[in-house]
Amino acid sequence: MKKESVKSAILTALIIISLLLTWNMWTYQPTLFDAKKETDVYEVMPITNTIKKYYEVIKPQQLFIHDGENHFSTMDASHSNDLWMKMQSWEYSDLESGVETFSSGENLKEIQKNSIELRFLNEIPMKTFQTMLEWDADTENVQFDRIYLKAGETGGIQSVYFVSYDKMRYVESSVNNNSEATQKVKQLFNDRNNLEKYYSFNISEGKEIFLPVNEPKMVKHQYKVEEIAGSRFRDALFSNSSVIKQDSITSKNSYTDAISLLDIYPEQHRVYYVNPAVDDSVPLEASTLVDQSIKFLNQHGGWTDEYMLFDIDDKENKISYIMQIHSIPVIPFDEYPQTMIIQKWGQNEAASYERPSYRIDFEINSNNEIMLMSGKKVEELLKANNDIDKEDISNIYIAYQLENVENQGIVNVTPVWCIEMNNGKLKTFKDEIVQSGGNANGME
């Protein structure tokens, strides 16, 4: 009996221990600290809440109206912006034929005659344009930097030509809902005499640039500029701010998570982010660069000002956007040498990202009108300058520069003539031509 009693006691003890362990397992709850440690999710904090659509950053920089030998344009971007907006709702037909070529300027003049021209700063992938419109057409490897809308054609058909000027190629389409399109084109074409007169300047063989006949009247603005705190870029570009280390020296503030590096240069008003782990050696399609770069900027709120597509380099996987004020490009100058957003891409991630660390806040004054040189004066200066190879000039247009004034955080926004070279470098000139700095990659 004694032996049986011991067995019963042991069995009872085991049952009690088992019940206690089971109870603890059922009722156990980890502490809030431990649970958070295992499941922590860190969210990116965007710099702004601005989301841009493709057509808001991919848009024409100049509008010209061609009436035989007469040409017209304006610095008022409302005409081109309104037309570009309406073009987003047009229904485009299949291409009339495959890719065509033109062998001389005379061939292009046939397309140009009696037309409205929209000119872009860089070639746009047709695939990107189709994505904007949900237009399905076979346009493989087609790019364009000009669109011509023919005016006054018979039959009420609105023809549209997408032209690559440098490659001397084009494709032709038409608009299905042509009554609305032809009406808009006709209205703008008939209003041409209310615009400024321009003339054709053949800067080199086969290279035609349009310049104003008279001195353009421009407005010199004054704006308050806000410097964006480095912590805003840190929180927008790093997914886990708790592991970020900061290092400050005289010329810059640095943040790193042991993989990526973010440098803020206060005196240059510039931000530079690099992720060395990203492989950028595999070339990407131009349309892929556009798609990834816009999504990237949308995701972290990088559209702190108005920007326009400036350059796509699909050989280097680089893409850049230039700042605008009143739809006029802002080019590097003086204490504000950074006016572009420049990205280099790997397959799915940004390998590097360079941009301004400031934003244009609000306007203080815009009452100071100034007159720029006429196109003839610009032509005269260029012909007299032997340091510039005219073959290397891509375009000539009016731009803005930011000039710092004595009051901290206030800039004068000054209009200047700008020469864009084939390699993306920008030069400005008043009575003489000077290097403005910057190119498609934002470097000297």
Instruction: Compare 441 and 221 and report the one with higher pLDDT.
Output: 221
**pLDDT > 70: percent of the chain:** 85
Q: Around Cβ 415, how many Cβ atoms within 10 Å?
A: 21
Q: pLDDT of 195-226, one tens digit each?
A: 999 999 988 777 889 999 999 999 999 999 99
Dist CA 426 CA 419 (whole Å)? 6
What confidence score (pLDDT) does residue 135 get? 82
Query: Do residues 184 and 218 lie in contact, with contact meaning Cβ atoms separated by under 8 Å?
Result: no
pLDDT in the model for residue 54:
96
The three-class DSSP label of residue 297 is helix
Minimum mean pLDDT among 25-39, 146-160, 212-226: which range?
Answer: 25-39
Domain(s) labelled CATH 3.30.310.160 in the chain stretch across: 226-356
Three-class secondary structure of residue 65 per DSSP? strand
Q: Please count the CA atoms within 13 angstroms of the CA of 403 that sit on its side-chain side.
A: 11
Q: How far is CA 422 from CA 101, 122, 311, 385, 387, in A?
A: 21, 11, 11, 18, 15
Q: What is the pLDDT of residue 229?
A: 95
**In 205-276, which ranges are E strands?**
207-212, 217-227, 245-248, 253-256, 261-265, 270-274
Question: What is the mean pLDDT of the segment spanning 7-24?
Answer: 59
What would the two tokens of residue 365 be? 């004054």
226 touches 233 (CB < 8 A)? no
DSSP-derived secondary structure letter, 336: B
In which band, very low, low, confident or very high, does the pLDDT at 444 lie, cut at 50, 70 and 90?
Answer: very low
Fold for the domain defined by 226-356? TATA-Binding Protein (3.30.310)
| Helical ranges in 248-363 per DSSP H | 286-300
What is the reported pLDDT for 189? 96
Span 228-234, mean pLDDT? 95
- Distance CA(399)–CA(321), nearest Å, equals 14
Query: Who has greater pLDDT, 14 or 124?
Result: 124
**Summary mean pLDDT of the chain:** 86
pTM across the whole model: 0.86
Is 431 in contact with 411 (CB distance < 8 Å)? Answer: no
Averaged pLDDT, 226-239? 94
- 275 contacts: CB under 8 Å, gap ≥ 6: 259, 260, 349, 350, 351, 352
Q: Quick one: pLDDT at residue 122?
A: 95
Mean pLDDT of 252-257: 93
Examine the pLDDT at 156 and tell me if it is beyond 50. yes
Task: Tell me the pLDDT band of 154, cut-offs 50, 70 and 90.
Answer: low
pLDDT above 50 (res 35): no
Token pair for 290: 């556009």
Q: What is the pLDDT of residue 113?
A: 92
Question: Taking residues 300-314, what's their average pLDDT?
Answer: 96
Q: Is the pLDDT of residue 134 over 60?
A: yes
Lowest mean pLDDT among 34-43, 52-61, 62-71, 327-336: 34-43
* Angle ∠(7,10,11) on CA atoms, nearest 5: 85
Q: Please report which confidence band the pLDDT of residue 5 belongs to, taking 50, 70 and 90 as the band edges.
A: low
Q: What is the pLDDT of residue 438?
A: 46
Q: Token digits for 176?
A: 């299905």
pLDDT at 340 over 50: yes
Tell me what pLDDT residue 387 has: 86
CA distances from 279 to 152, 276, 282, 289, 388 (A): 51, 8, 7, 14, 37
Is the CB of residue 44 less than 8 Å from the CB of residue 300?
yes
Q: What is the pLDDT of residue 401?
A: 95
Would the pLDDT of 318 be above 70?
Answer: yes
Average pLDDT over every residue of 116-140: 88
Percent of the chain with pLDDT over 90: 60
